[in-house]
Chain A
């Protein structure tokens, strides 16, 4: 097998594609669209999955919730010392959180109020980086809140404003906010800090306050919490501790950090799945187009093949040149499509971001993590090039077996 011969065939295939520009573009442009659709979804999903993978190291090893009549409910803090007695358990932190269904500018939305035990929580040393204005809560703070960027922008709040929950019908966006949720919960918080836009993906709708304030707001009893976060001495002991908690305490819902990260992958896999179905339809359309274009050999091309065969070209060489044409179109369309998809994902998928990330219209737009791994790239190239080659095989063979005498005379 001589390489120069194949190089010559490649050059000739490229020349053919240039000569028949309209036909080439008719295949390459839809292919770019197909591959861009597939790649931006893959890269956006990859971003969330990678973030979830990194986050696993920072999550509590086990999260314990209470179950009442088969439904998730409050959990008693009385379990905390008993869980702490389990071997390998390092720390147990209670947390109180809940939802604030609101209507802002006639758009239904929901914010989350999260109460942290300020005397017993894990403030990351890098947390100050995430604060855009003001400060994070410190032990002893009461009726103070740190807002997610989405909450702050929605209400137009700034540090030092009072955030007052009152009747939602009288909501007045301004420095002082009056909101009351549908269950009649009320509260009053001074905004001490606002998280920056870089962490919006985890905090855009958050109102973070002291656990006592959250407890008071949602009407929890003194010994109740939404969940208990259990930290073990080593991540490999998480499953053992989880099983032990399940064995010791009934009516509890025990979640490991793996379950939470798997959930992110599952959810985004399904979002991606819808786009993959759309992408598959588009790809089939392109393949049908390729088939139609390849199977129809014009009189000019037929004569050209006839002349080539008359001067000594073999059937295999004709087939190879036709296959190379498909390969060039596949590589070109896939390369450009993947690049377009990558750039589109980096731009935050404008136009369809609402569906891509499932974000409510009330929250201001925020950047999503984007990640492309080698596996995705290889998969995209296989999906972009191989079907094109496959669907071109029979038309290439049909072109290769053209009788030269008949072709030239036609």
Chain B
């Protein structure tokens, strides 16, 4: 009965595509995106290490502030619209800045 099921076309197709997909996944995970095995990743990381930052143009290119360390809104507020050339600018991401969490507001009441 099991052999009959395996011979069945729908079952065989699904089984085949899942096996192919798992093979692709294993190749992708273990080889093509593994630092130890992938020369591409080693090269990319060499650039990151040398430059001291990821500096991805694709993140903040839409406002030309490609450095990840710089928030997009912060950059835009320097000169409104002055640095953004791209109509599809819709990614807004700002890093969690340690120093911005350190603040204190104390109210000193006027003594009657």
Interfacial residues, chain A to chain B (CB-CB below 8 A): 3-4, 7-8, 10-11, 14, 17-18, 47-48, 50-52, 54-55, 57-60, 63, 65, 67, 71-72, 93, 95, 97, 99, 101, 108-110, 112, 114, 116, 121-127, 129-130, 136, 150, 195-196, 198-199, 201-206, 208, 227, 229, 239, 242-243, 246-247, 252-256, 259-264, 266-267, 270-271, 274, 328, 331-332, 335-336, 338-339, 342, 354-355, 357-360, 363, 368-374, 377
Contacts and interface: CB of A to CB of B under 8 A. Distances in A.
Nearest to A250: B99
Given A17-B10, A54-B45, A358 B58 contact: yes
Interface in B1-45: 1-2, 4-5, 8-11, 13-14, 17-18, 20-21, 24-25, 28-29, 32-33, 35, 39-45
User: Which 6 pairs show the lowest CB-CB distances between chains A and B?
Assistant: A108-B85, A124-B46, A335-B17, A110-B64, A126-B46, A14-B10
28 contacts: A11-B4, A14-B9, A48-B58, A54-B41, A54-B45, A55-B48, A59-B54, A60-B53, A71-B74, A101-B83, A112-B67, A122-B49, A124-B47, A126-B42, A126-B45, A130-B47, A196-B43, A203-B55, A229-B52, A253-B100, A262-B96, A270-B92, A331-B18, A354-B88, A360-B57, A371-B28, A371-B29, A377-B21
Given A60-B52, A372-B29, A255 B69 contact: yes
B56 A264 contact: yes
Interface of B: 1-2, 4-5, 8-11, 13-14, 17-18, 20-21, 24-25, 28-29, 32-33, 35, 39-62, 64-70, 74-75, 77-78, 83, 85-86, 88, 90-100, 102
Given A99-B64, A108-B85, A204-B57, A93 B52 contact: yes
Nearest to A94: B52
Given A50-B33, A255-B69, A371-B29, A339 B56 contact: no
B45 A373 contact: no
Nearest to B85: A108
A14 B11 contact: yes
A121 B92 CA distance: 31
Contact of B33 (A52, A101, A202, A369): A369
